[in-house]
Amino acid sequence: MTDKIKKIRLTDRNVKFLEKVEEISGESITLCDQCGTCSAGCPFVEEMDITPSQLMREVLLGQEEVLRARTTWICASCFTCTVRCPRMLDVSKVAEALRQIGLRQAIDEIDINIIDREEYRKMPTIALVSAYRKLTG
């Protein structure tokens, strides 16, 4: 038990964020039943800070902090969740949409100019690709 209970207020801004993610991903987030199949089947879930289903929930509730979750970046788009979702949702696409939004907001987790060589070797490829894409996009 670490963080305090979060209290949220639903406003039009939350709805707009949800609609934006739905538009970019092409997925109906409100269809998610929160069954947890995606989270339990995810091969990287133990590296994540929130599970894929939590990610879906936060998006439904319009919580923009989800953009700062590690989960989006750890997702390697292996599609395990996508092929298993009983509601036929493509969770990978939602993660991708969040990455896109995050990139456009220039939320910066990595500055490639100051990465030392040791860290560079350990970094996930997807993070590097994203970092470069941000600079070239």
Interface residues toward other proteins, by CB under 8 A: 5-10, 12, 15, 28, 30-31, 33-34, 54, 57-58, 60-61, 87
Smallest distance, other proteins to C-beta of residue 86, A = 11
> CB 119 → other proteins: shortest distance, Å?
33
Other C-beta atoms within 10 Å of 134: how many?
A: 17
- Does residue 64 contact residue 17 with C-beta atoms inside 8 Å? yes
State in angstroms the smallest separation of the CB of 59 from other proteins. 11
CB of 57 to other proteins, least distance (A): 4
Residue with the two structure tokens 């997925």: 27
Nearer CB in complex with other proteins: 58/64: 58
Which residue number, 34 or 105, has a Cβ lying nearer to other proteins?
A: 34
Question: What are the phi and psi torsion angles at 28 (to 5°)?
Answer: -90, 100
Amino acid at 59: V
Half-sphere CA count of 12, side-chain side, radius 13 A: 0
For other proteins, give the closer residue by CB, 39 or 92. Answer: 39
DSSP state of 5: P
Select 6 or 117, whichever has its Cβ closest to other proteins: 6
CB neighbour burial string for 66-77, b if at least 16 within 10 angstroms, e if fewer? bbebebbbbbee
